[in-house]
């Protein structure tokens, strides 16, 4: 949790128009969310390769 808080505090110091931002969680799986702004906000999800290999149900 400390790692996440440190990343959030660093992002707060950045200007609001600083894009893209990377937010990561240290859980059993590592997930990165890429936040970009092009007219509308959208999310691009990247899963750890190990997790993708274990869960084929995520494939669409």
What are the tens digits of pLDDT across the range 12-39? 555 554 444 444 444 444 455 555 555 4
Question: Taking all residues of the chain, what is their mean pLDDT, rounded to a whole number?
Answer: 51
Beta bridge partners of 35: 21, 43
SS (H, E, C) the chain: CHHHHHHHHHHHHCCCCCCCEEEEEECCCEEEEEEEEECEEEEEEEECHHHHHHCHHHCC
Question: pTM of the entire structure?
Answer: 0.14
pLDDT of residue 46: 57
Q: What is the mean pLDDT of residues 46-53?
A: 54
Tokens encoding 25: 């969680």
């Amino acid at each position: 949790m400390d790692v996440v808080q440190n990343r959030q505090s660093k992002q707060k110091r950045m200007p609001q128009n600083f894009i893209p931002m990377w937010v990561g969680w240290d859980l059993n799986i590592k997930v990165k969310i890429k936040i970009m702004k092009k007219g509308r906000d959208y999310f691009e999800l990247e899963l750890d390769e190990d997790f993708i290999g274990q869960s084929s149900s995520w494939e669409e």
